[in-house]
Amino acid sequence: MWYEQINFINANKIEDVFGNLDKPNSMIIAGGTDILVRLKNHKNNIKHFININNIPELKQIEYSDNKIKIGSCVTFSELLNKTWKIFPPLFEAAKTLAGPQVRNTATIGGNIINASPAGDSLPVLYAFDAELKFQAKTYSRIIKIKDFIIGPGKTLLKNGELLTQIIINIPKYDYLYKKFGTRKSLALSKVSFCGVKLRKTGNIVMAFGASGPTIIVVKTNITDDIDKILKIVDKTVSPISDQRSDADYRKYLCVEVARDFLENL
């Protein structure tokens, strides 16, 4: 592979990352399952890989006071093992991502930074209004995921920043996660969906993956008329046709999965 010529740097602590991110044309690599596929097909001018997989604090999951904090380098296999009790929607999403081998290396941080509209964990993170914590050499900041991702593969990541943590508040809720693909495993989604009803307020958030340039969110309340909500869904999603599915069918899936969710609340 052409990328053998890229200088490889193992970062063992967060400071190592910032020391090396200053170098021109450097790129952070975590699981690598998206980056290496992209680089295989598109040669570019990257000079340094900075591997962040060995940094212990990026691999931790903390859970307390109905708040879950997930390190950016937590793999989807680890999410499968650790979130099935405390945060089932993310467990469901992790279960549908690629196959076992990819889940053993692919990270949740990578899924976010890659910013694919079809990213399997993203509808869950949008539905729960997840916050992302970034660290740079001289500052840190927190930004909501819905403000961070601005288009397919496009984010507001600034030079010198490292995604360190994903923070999710978990109130009492009912949910549905669903992924539609051609096969159960190793499939990119035609449409993915996470619907959440907050028990306290009756507020409903529905997040649709692979249905627009980023994850599409529709907010409503349990007291609203279902047919009216479904019309809003139909108008709001803007899927495209590609090799996996066509726009009309995707739109149909969005409306029907929303109906399934709303009618069974």
Partner 1 sequence: MKIKVNNILYEPKVSGSMRLLDYLRNELKLTGTKEGCGEGECGACTILLNGKPVNSCLILLGQCDEKEIITIEGLNEPELTKSFEEVGAVQCGFCTPGMMISSSAFLEENPSPTKEEVKTCISGNLCRCTGYKKIEEAIMLTADKKKLVK
CA distance 60 to 78: 10
CA distance 93 to 212: 19
User: The tokens 């021109």 sit on which residue?
Assistant: 24
Residue with smaller CB distance to partner 1, 101 or 221: 101
* Cβ 39 to partner 1 shortest distance, Å: 10
Binder to partner 1 among 15, 22, 23, 36 (CB under 8 A)? 36
Q: Does the footprint of partner 1 cover residue 113 (CB under 8 A)?
A: no
Residue with smaller CB distance to partner 1, 40 or 67: 40
Specify whether the CB–CB gap between 95 and 126 falls below 8 A: no
- Nearest one of 87, 7, 79, 93 to 50, comparing CA atoms: 7
* Cβ 9 to partner 1 shortest distance, Å: 8
Residue with smaller CB distance to partner 1, 189 or 211: 189
**Ordered strands of the 7-10 beta sheet:** 7-10, 48-51, 26-29
* Cβ 211 to partner 1 shortest distance, Å: 23
- Nearest one of 238, 250, 217 to 125, comparing CA atoms: 217
CA distance 165 to 32: 18
Binder to partner 1 among 29, 130, 207, 229 (CB under 8 A)? 29
* Cβ 11 to partner 1 shortest distance, Å: 11
What Å distances lie between residue 222 and 15, 72, 85, 229, CA to CA?
Answer: 47, 34, 26, 10
Residue with smaller CB distance to partner 1, 73 or 112: 73
Residue with smaller CB distance to partner 1, 49 or 208: 49
CA distance 219 to 234: 13
Provide the strand spans (E) within 65-211: 67-71, 131-135, 140-144, 149-151, 154-155, 162-169, 173-180, 191-198, 203-209
Binder to partner 1 among 1, 24, 64, 200 (CB under 8 A)? 1
Residue with smaller CB distance to partner 1, 145 or 188: 188
Binder to partner 1 among 16, 59, 69, 77 (CB under 8 A)? 77
Q: Does the footprint of partner 1 cover residue 49 (CB under 8 A)?
A: yes
Q: Does the footprint of partner 1 cover residue 10 (CB under 8 A)?
A: yes
Q: Does the footprint of partner 1 cover residue 202 (CB under 8 A)?
A: no
- Which chain residues interact with partner 1 by CB under 8 A? 1, 3-10, 29, 31-33, 36-37, 40, 49, 51, 53-54, 77, 98-102, 104-105, 184-186
